[in-house]
Amino acid sequence: MTTETVGWLLILFLPFLLSLAAKVSTPKVLCLVMSAMALLLSVQPYSSVLPWALGMVIALISVRERIRSAYGM
């Protein structure tokens, strides 16, 4: 694998990697599905933006809720 390929895979699977910090498993599964959809749709330019963005929203909300529950806010 080239460095560019590894970089693209890291970017496409960033929502899943970020969701691994969540406590529950539902965001992890959703982000894995969204990342896989983004990977499959990435053969056409800009078609993977929507699943990637939805995965990032799910991952960020799950991480924010974990932080909120850890600090009792």
- pLDDT confidence band for 71 (50 / 70 / 90): confident
Q: What is the mean pLDDT of residues 2-8?
A: 93
Cβ-contact 11, 18 below 8 angstroms: no
Containing structural domain, residue 36: 3-71
Query: With 90 as the cut, is the pLDDT of residue 70 above it?
Result: no
* Tally of structural domains, the chain: 1
Cβ-contact 32, 49 below 8 angstroms: no
pLDDT in tens, 9-60: 999 999 999 999 988 899 999 999 999 999 999 999 899 999 999 999 999 9
Rounded Cα gap, residues 61 and 28, in angstroms? 12
Query: With 70 as the cut, is the pLDDT of residue 73 above it?
Result: no
